[in-house]
């Protein structure tokens, strides 16, 4: 299918482009390149040996976006574009509602203009909030704890209501757990701007010498070793989940919420040990106070993804670690220095 990919130059977007092309789809990227580098798209082009067609456009720019849709006539959309830093979302709520919520509405308007009725949306397990039980299944109540989480849930609600009004549409709301790792080539990977918010890029930046040590946020949680437990998923598996979602959307109208994780949880200390084992490096770390807003543990119930999409994660922790290091060691400063 012709697939318009918003935010296609980002971490998950670039990995998804490779899987889309491998599956015979024709992606077209729309990105404002505010949090992503054009070099990332160039690297994808290099890997597939042809350029990725794209346009520089913000998802809130309705007239340009509609022109692009009229030109490309996509049969489906994958909507990655959005702001995603929890702490920043509390400081700049208007920007988060504007980009993540208003941006989704603008996108829907552009889709309607060309009768495009399939969308795969990049949501997050953060919409669940504190767990009543684990693993989270999709019926778990949603109680977002941050502005960021609220914007993701609002966008989900908008898309669900849009489906109700357009019963022939296919809306797939993918709730990602914690994506880590990189493509095996080491040419594309996660490249956070500034201070990394997330664990994995912090570990690789310590390993490459950009940071002195990792702070482990709390060792007094109610988990086996006291540190936070998360469901880390290899970004290539996550990318494949989007292809499976498109295949489903092509044939089946409906609105579905689907967890995308492995179903397996690892603690911060287990992540450090796994990285050290995979790379032979040592990660200096020390225990620090808990980070505000963090929960002890989260893990996905992945049965719906298996039954509905026929998808399950294939890559284990060692591959997540080795590939994350493959990317970071070959690109110590991310995309800022090209080679």
Catalytic positions, written as ranges: 148
Q: How far is the CB of 207 from ligand UD1 (least distance, A)?
A: 13
Does the protein bind ligand UD1 through residue 259 (CB under 6 A)?
no
Residue 311 C-beta: closest distance to ligand UD1, Å: 20
Distance CA 165, CA 339 (A): 49
Residue 122 touching ligand UD1 (CB under 6 A)? no
Radius of gyration of the chain (CA): 19
Enumerate long-range contacts of 328-332, CB under 8 Å, 24 or more apart: 328/182, 328/189, 328/201, 328/204, 328/205, 328/207, 328/208, 329/186, 329/207, 329/208, 330/186, 330/187, 331/186, 331/189, 331/191, 332/208, 332/209, 332/210
147 sits near ligand UD1 (criterion: CB under 6 A): no
223 binds ligand UD1 (CB under 6 A): no
Stretch that binds ligand UD1, among 13-21, 198-206, 239-247, 250-258 (CB under 6 A): 198-206
Q: Does 198 bind ligand UD1 (CB under 6 A)?
A: yes
Residues 6+ apart with CB under 8 A from 288: 215, 216, 217, 218
Q: Which of left, alpha, beta for 299 (phi over 0: left; psi -120 to 50: alpha)?
A: beta
* String of DSSP letters for 21-48: HHTT-EEEEEE--SSS-HHHHHHHHHHH
Buried b (16+ CB within 10 A) or exposed e, 293-326: eebbbbbbbbebbeebbebebebebebbbbbbbb
CA 330 to chain centre: 22
Instruction: Pick the binder of ligand UD1 from 228, 261, 263, 334 (CB under 6 A).
Output: 228
Residue 267: CB minimum distance to ligand UD1, A: 8
Which of 88, 158, 217, 283 is the binder for ligand UD1 (CB under 6 A)? Answer: 217
264 binds ligand UD1 (CB under 6 A): no
Which residue, 72 or 200, is less far from ligand UD1 as judged by CB?
200
Structure tokens at 216: 């482990």
User: Quick check: 241 binds ligand UD1 (CB under 6 A)?
Assistant: no
The site map against ligand UD1 for 161-180 (x = CB under 6 A) is: -----------------x--
Asked whether position 197 contacts ligand UD1 by CB under 6 A, the answer is yes
Query: Is 14 one of the binding residues for ligand UD1 (CB under 6 A)?
Result: no
Q: Is 230 in the site for ligand UD1 (CB under 6 A)?
A: yes
Number of residues that bind ligand UD1 (CB under 6 A): 20
When asked if residue 143 is in the footprint of ligand UD1 (CB under 6 A), the reply is no
Residue nearest to ligand UD1 (CB): 228
Binding site for ligand UD1 (CB under 6 A): 84, 86, 124, 126, 148, 178, 197-199, 202, 214-217, 228, 230, 268, 291, 293-294
């Amino acid at each position: 299918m012709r697939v318009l990919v918003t935010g296609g130059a980002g971490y998950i977007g670039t990995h998804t482009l490779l899987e889309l092309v491998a599956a015979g789809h024709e992606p077209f990227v729309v990105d404002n390149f505010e949090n992503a580098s054009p070099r990332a798209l160039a690297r994808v082009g290099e890997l597939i040996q042809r350029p990725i067609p794209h346009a520089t456009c913000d998802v809130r720019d309705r007239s340009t976006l509609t022109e692009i849709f009229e030109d490309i006539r996509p049969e489906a959309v994958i909507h990655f574009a959005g702001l995603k830093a929890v702490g920043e979302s509390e400081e700049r709520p208007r920007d988060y509602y504007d980009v993540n919520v208003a941006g989704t509405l603008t996108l829907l308007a552009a889709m309607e203009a060309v009768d495009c009725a399939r969308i795969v949306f990049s949501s997050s397990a953060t919409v669940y909030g504190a767990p009543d039980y684990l693993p989270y299944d999709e019926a778990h109540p949603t109680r977002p704890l941050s502005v960021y989480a609220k914007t993701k849930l609002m966008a989900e609600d908008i898309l669900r209501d849009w489906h109700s009004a357009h019963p022939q549409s296919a809306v797939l709301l993918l709730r990602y757990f914690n994506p880590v790792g990189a493509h095996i080539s080491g040419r594309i990977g996660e490249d956070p701007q500034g201070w990394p918010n997330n664990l994995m890029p912090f570990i690789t930046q310590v390993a490459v010498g950009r940071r002195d040590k990792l702070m482990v946020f709390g060792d007094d949680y109610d988990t086996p070793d006291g540190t936070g437990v998360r469901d880390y998923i290899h970004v290539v598996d996550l990318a494949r989940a989007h292809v499976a979602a498109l295949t489903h959307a092509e044939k089946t109208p409906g609105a579905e919420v689907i967890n995308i994780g492995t179903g397996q949880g690892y603690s911060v200390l287990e992540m450090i040990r796994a990285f050290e084992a995979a790379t032979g490096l040592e990660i200096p770390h020390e225990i620090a106070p808990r980070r505000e807003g963090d929960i002890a543990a989260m893990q996905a119930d992945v049965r719906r993804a298996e039954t509905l999409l026929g998808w399950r994660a294939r890559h284990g922790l060692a591959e997540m670690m080795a590939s994350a290091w493959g990317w970071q060691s070959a690109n110590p400063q991310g995309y800022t220095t090209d080679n």
